[in-house]
Amino acid sequence: MKRRIVVIEDEDAIRRGIVDALTMAGYDPVEAADGKAGLDEARRAGVDLVLLDLMLPVMDGFEVLARLQQTHSSLPVIILSARGTEDDRVRGLRGGADDYVVKPFSALELLARVDAVLRRSPERPQPVVRILLRETVVDCARREILSNDGSRVALSEMEASILQRLAAHAGRAISREELLSSVWGFRDGNIETRAIDMHITRLRSKLAAASPGAGTEWIATVRGKGYMLGPDVALEMDAPAGEQLAETESIE
């Protein structure tokens, strides 16, 4: 599966050069020409990395970075900017960016930076095949819970999406805002809704009914942060696809 990278850059020639280099290297780039559109794209499900210019129309890069930190704090971001002063670099890195690349740069250097950030990123979601607790199994492809007595309980598309999101990022709490963005497609971090809590409640009920006597919880509430899988839940993952690094012309 190709890694998806959002390219937020207002200069057409630079953006096209970056997109072409990423495509040749085996990535799946998504383009945005202003900060607001870029923030919307970055908050969609399945994004692995953001390449972010600072001087953008509608919303500047620092504001995009700040808003991503509110809802997607573990999403890797590399700043690409002609503003190469020490103050700008320090501000960007302290603001949550994983790397800072000063223009002009070569495509080969950019691809190396992208590869390095993705390799060291603590969040590299892989497709989850099955989710297990004791003898109860959630089959993600079929969207159903398999009990040890052979019975099956169907999950709604929304319930399955929530569970897969938690599983893909096991080990950390997922905020309600991130679930709204990734599962519902709501990309305004200020939206308040109880929809997430209601779906979590129904999902917990189905899982508990299918695994009586498990003695532990499938989904834990992390106060002030959101939800995460319980500590005893196990996962079976697909192996991630490899990527290739292509040597291309300089991007200026």
Residue 225: phi and psi, rounded to 5, are -125, -40
Residues of the chain with CATH 1.10.10.10: 128-237
Among 28-37, 85-94, 174-183, the least confident range: 174-183
CATH code for 4-124? 3.40.50.2300
Does this model's pTM top 0.85?
A: no
Q: What is the pLDDT at residue 239?
A: 45
Nearest to 108 by CA among 14, 25, 11: 25
d(CA 79, CA 92): 7
pLDDT (tens digit, 9 = 90+) per residue, 155-205? 887 888 888 888 888 778 888 877 877 666 555 444 456 778 888 999 999
Q: What sign has the CA pseudo-torsion 165, 170, 176, 182?
A: negative
Domain(s) of CATH 3.40.50.2300: residues in the chain: 4-124
Q: Residue 193: its pLDDT value, please?
A: 60
152 with 136: CB under 8 angstroms? no
Fold (CATH) for 128-237: Arc Repressor Mutant, subunit A (1.10.10)
Predicted confidence at residue 180, as pLDDT, reads 76
pLDDT (tens digit, 9 = 90+) per residue, 39-85? Answer: 999 988 778 999 999 999 999 999 999 998 887 877 899 999 998 88
